[in-house]
Structure 1
Amino acid sequence: MDFTSRMVALLGELRRERNGAVADAMCLCGKPYGLNYGVSLPTLRRIARAETPDHDFARYLYVQDVRELRLAALYIAQPERVTMDEAAFWAAGIINSEVAEEASFALLSRVGVQPAIFERWMAASPLLQYAALLAAARSPQASLAWVDAALEAVHRDAVEAEALVAAARSAAAADTSAAPAAGIAGAEGQAAGAAGIAAGTVELAAGAAARTGKSAEAAALTASASFAARAARLVAQGAVALCVAVGSQNEENRLAVHRKAGSLGKLPAEDCVHEELAWRLEP
């Protein structure tokens, strides 16, 4: 049976488990899927794991713009066949927070080149940082050196997000066409529900402008700022997972993690790390 026939059979099984309520309730950071049947993650994982591992078939599924096929691919792929040459391929499919999470748990944490992927992706986009951090938190090779890279990413993303939020607020205040008291908070859900502006989606900015009464420029800044703030928070959550994994190894690491995290400032994403570690790494 060729890949197309196998994909059609797998999709038929997945479609029988469709759940529109699940699809409607999803709140993802990043781009939306082209097609989403709303199959629950436990069901999707069960169906995918019943498939025979096949790396080439997994790659074929991964490029389909269908949520269930892309996520299933991560469980059908063969970790031992993932190389650094493939890193860009898997990175390209991480379009939102859900794919980042499933990629880290199902595949990235199990590949031999995970440390090299971690190093490369920590200098990439926030979604790739998030995936790399979650995978690193599950790695037996997790070390204090990785904590340094994680906290540097948190600070960098937090500063960039704050700058965008400030710019969006200034644009909203100066935008005479904006609705009274619209502000960034009021437009966040409408302008950046999928945060597709991060991928340069001009249409989203225009649509946001029509819905909120803002100019296209102000709407684009609002959407971009919203995405940046949510993405920075995700990176902070990934960093916390890694810090806890390393800090839980022994008392020396626990103290070292607290000391390193103490260098972070008070921006929202940085505060997230402080607050989480305060109780997650209690003596």
Structure 2
Amino acid sequence: MDLKEQLKDIKTQLRLSMNGVVSQSMREKGANYKLNFGVELPRIKNIAAAYEKNHDLAQALWKEDIRECKILAGMLQPVDTFFPEIADIWVENIRNTEIAEFTCMNLFQHLPYAPAKSFQWIASEVEYTQVCGFLTIARLLMKKGNMDERPAGEFLDQAICAVQSGSYPVRKAALLAIRKYMEHSEENAFKVCRMVEHMADSEMEAEQMLYNMVKEVVDN
């Protein structure tokens, strides 16, 4: 099958797997897509399994403003042809947390330049670029464990700042990354603890949320 036929075949399978109840529920929860078939993840994985990883197919799927096509794009994109400038273009196209989470899990965390690129993203002022940066760092910490002292300091400064001043999706992603950093070692946990101890009696909701999360990790 050529690219056009593959794309048509995938869209046909998605339509046949459509779940209107899931799609409606997601819409009510604020997940806005131009088109959302409500196909559940196991089915999307089954569709992806029938195809080889293919750069052109993944790029074509990403350009479709369809929830399931964007998820499949991250699954079918080969790492070796996904250059940093393409990663930036994809990130610019991400408009919600679901696509950010899936793309970080299926693709971004596996990129050889992921550590450097994620730091670039968390320094951005664009909401979902920051979200992708923190989610990628969280994934890298889960996979590789720790980070060196200097980048760790920069990461924690940016993450704590994001929790204090970022939007809800940015705050949530930054909190997750901080948690994964803390879970790596007692030393990391207490390092973060020292950075937030002055927030114990803060009247700011975001600072209380951060302090309570840190306390929960340390207590466990």
Q: Residue in 2 aligned with 1:148? A: 157
Q: Which has the higher helix share?
A: 2
Is 1:59–1:77's contact at 8 Å kept on the other side of the alignment? yes
Match of 1:217 in 2: none
Distance 1:153 1:252, change over 3 A: same
**Letter paired with 1:93:** N
Q: CA RMSD in A?
A: 2.0
Q: State the one-letter code of the partner of 1:129.
A: Q
Unpaired runs of 5+ residues, structure 1, are 158-231
Match of 1:133 in 2: 134
- Greater gyration radius: 1
1:43 aligns with 2:52: no
Amino acid at match of 1:134: L
Shift of 1:11: 1.2
Matches within 5 A, 1:225-244: 232-244=167-179
Aligned equivalent of 1:277: 214
Please state whether the residue corresponding to 1:138 is helix, strand or coil: helix
In structure 2, the CA distance between the partners of 1:263 and 1:128, relative to structure 1 (3 Å rule), is farther
Q: Which moved more, 1:47-56 or 1:269-278?
A: 269-278
Mapping for residues 17-32 of structure 1, pairs under 5 Å: 17-26=17-26, 27-28=29-30, 32=32
Shift of 1:266: 4.4
RCO greater where, 1 or 2, for CA within 8 Å and sep 6 or more? 1
Matched pairs, number: 207
Write out per-residue CA displacement over residues 26-46 of structure 1, whole angstroms, 9 at most, x where no aligned residue. 1246xx211111101232133
| Aligned AA (1:245) | K
Provide the rounded CA distance (Å) in 1 between the counterparts of 2:127 and 2:198: 20
Counterparts of 2:110 and 2:30 in 1: how far apart (Å)?
24
* Letter in structure 2 aligned against 1:110: H
Q: What secondary structure, in the 3-state scheme, does the structure 2 residue paired with 1:33 have?
A: coil
1:70 maps to 2:70: yes
Alpha-carbon distance change, 247 to 35 in structure 1, aligned in 2, over 3 angstroms: same
Determine the C-alpha separation between the residues in 2 that align with 1:41 and 1:236. Answer: 25
Structure-2 change in CA distance of 1:274 and 1:39 (3 Å): same
TM norm structure 1: 0.67
Structure 2 CA distance for partners of 1:52 and 1:270, relative to 1, 3 Å: farther
The Cα of 1:85 is off from its aligned counterpart by: 1.7
TM-score by length of 2: 0.85
Over residues 56-81 of structure 1, what are the superposed CA-to-partner deviations in whole Å (9 max), with x where a residue is unaligned? Answer: 21011101111111111010011233
1:68 maps to a residue whose letter is E
Matched, 1:101 2:101: yes
1:33–1:67: 8 Å Cα contact kept in structure 2?
yes
